[in-house]
Amino acid sequence: MGNRSKHRMAGPILPADLSISTCALRRVLDYEPRDLTISIEAGFPFLELQKLLAANGQMIALDPPFADRATIGGVVSSNSSGPLRRAYGTARDLVIGMTFATLEGKLVKSGGMVVKNVAGLDMGKLLIGSFGTLAAITSLNFRLHSIPETTQTFLFTFPDVDSALVKRNSILRSVLQPLALDLLSPAAAVRVARRGFVLALRAGGSETVLNRYRRELDGAEALLAADDAVFWRTVQEFTPEFLARQPDGVVMRISTPLQGMPALLKLIANPFICRAANGITYVYASSWGAASRLWETGAQLGLRAVIEFAPDAVRESEELWRILPADGPEWEAFVMMERVKQMFDPGHLLNRNRLYGRI
C-alpha cells in the first residue's frame, strides 16, 4: 500500500499477515528537465511532486482524485486519472519505465529514461492498474509535459443531454484540441454552482490559441483565470468530496464508445460526470440500493462497468467487475490476466481480490 488514500476503491482489503507501505520511498532518483523525464520513488507524494516540477514549468500530465493524499505509486497502481485524460491519456501513456520488487525478493527494471523505448515486452505496463496484486512498485520513470502557458474554461449549459452531446460532437469534429471535455449532469453541476447539463471545455496554450477558442466557441461562458483552476479542482476531486458526504456512497465507472453515450446517459438517474471525449462515465449513488438498479440494467445491456468505490460491506459481498460473456475478447483477456497473476504470485499472497474482487 501507499498512503491508503483509495482504501475504499476496487476490491476489498482482506486480512493479511503482513502489510508493507511504500511511504518511506520518497527520493528523486533522476530528473532531467531538458529531456522532460524524471525517475521518482513510489512513495513520493503526488502533489509534492507536481509542485517540484512546476518550478521548471513542467508537470506529470495526470490529475487524479485524492491528489492531496496520494502517492505517485498509488496513482499508477490504481491507474487513476482525471479530466486531462482527454489530452494526455492515462498513466499507461506517461510511464516510460519502472522498478518493482517481486515475491522472490528480486528488483526488476522495465523500460528506461527515454520517451521512445525499443519495441518488446514492457513488463511495467502489467503493473499499471494492478492494485499491487502482482508485485510492489518501488520507483517510476515518467515522460513530462510543459505546463500550458495559459488556460481558459468555456461552459455550455443545456436543458437535456441530447443537446449537450450534439455540441460535444461538433467540438470533436472541429479543429480544436481541448485539454479536457467533461459533461456534468444537473445534480453534479450544482457543485460548480451551475444548472442543467454542463459541457465544460478547458483550453490551453498561447493567447493566440485561446483567441481561436473564443472565436470558435462563441456563446459559451468563459471563466476567468482564477475560476478556471477552482472549477477543474472541483471536478477532479468530485469523488473524494462525494464519498466524504455520503459514507454509504457507491461510484460506478462505465465505459462506452462515444456513439453509445446518449443511450447510456438516458438510463442514469443519479449524478454523473463524463469524460465526454473518452467514453468514460462516473455515476454517483448514495447507496448500493440506488446503484444496483443501474448495475443490473447494465448487465442486461452488456455494458462494461466496475464498482470503483463502495463501502466495505458492498465490496465484500457484491460483484464489482463485470466480465462480458465467455465467448468474447474481454473474457479471453481476463483469462490471460489470471495467467499473469499465476506467474507473478502463484500463492495468491499479494492484495487478494483487490483487483475489483476478481484477482
* Per-residue confidence (pLDDT) for residue 78, from 0 to 100: 97
Q: Provide the 3-class DSSP secondary structure of residue 162.
A: helix
Identify which of 180, 108, 122 has the alpha carbon closest to the alpha carbon of residue 148. 180
Identify which of 247, 213, 208, 246 has the alpha carbon closest to the alpha carbon of residue 228. 213
* Host H or E run for residue 167: helix 161-173
Q: Provide the 3-class DSSP secondary structure of residue 288.
A: helix
What secondary structure does DSSP assign to 229-276, as a single string?
A: HHHHHHHHTHHHHHHHH-TT-EEEEEE--GGGHHHHHHH--S-EEEET
Model confidence band, residue 326 (pLDDT cutoffs 50, 70, 90): low
* Per-residue confidence (pLDDT) for residue 117, from 0 to 100: 58
What secondary structure does DSSP assign to 177-234, as a single string?
A: --SEEEEE-HHHHGGGT--SEEEEEEEEE-HHHHHHHHHHTTTSEEPPHHHHHHHHHH
What secondary structure does DSSP assign to 308-332, as a single string?
A: EE--HHHHHHS--BPPPPTTSHHHH
Model confidence band, residue 62 (pLDDT cutoffs 50, 70, 90): very high
Task: Give pLDDT tens digits for 30-60.
Answer: 999 999 999 999 999 999 999 999 999 999 9
Average pLDDT of the chain to the nearest whole number: 95
What are 202's strand-pairing partners?
Answer: 153, 180
Instruction: Set out the domains of the chain in order of their start, with CATH numbers.
Output: 1-147+328-352 (3.30.465.10), 150-236 (3.30.70.2190), 240-317 (3.30.70)
* Per-residue confidence (pLDDT) for residue 312, from 0 to 100: 96
* Host H or E run for residue 300: helix 288-301
Identify which of 70, 11, 31, 73 has the alpha carbon closest to the alpha carbon of residue 357. 11
Q: 125 with 79: CB under 8 angstroms?
A: no
More confident residue, 299 or 102: 102
Task: Give pLDDT tens digits for 239-248.
Answer: 999 999 999 9
pTM to 2 decimals?
A: 0.96
Model confidence band, residue 181 (pLDDT cutoffs 50, 70, 90): very high
- pLDDT of 118 above 80: no
> What backbone phi and psi angles, to 5 degrees, belong to 242?
-65, -45
Residues with Cβ < 8 Å from 299, sequence gap 6 or more?
322
Beta strands in 65-119 (DSSP E): 95-101, 107-111
Q: Provide the 3-class DSSP secondary structure of residue 104.
A: coil
Using CA atoms, how far apart are residues 318 and 330, in angstroms rounded to an integer?
20
Arithmetic mean of pLDDT, 153-157? 98
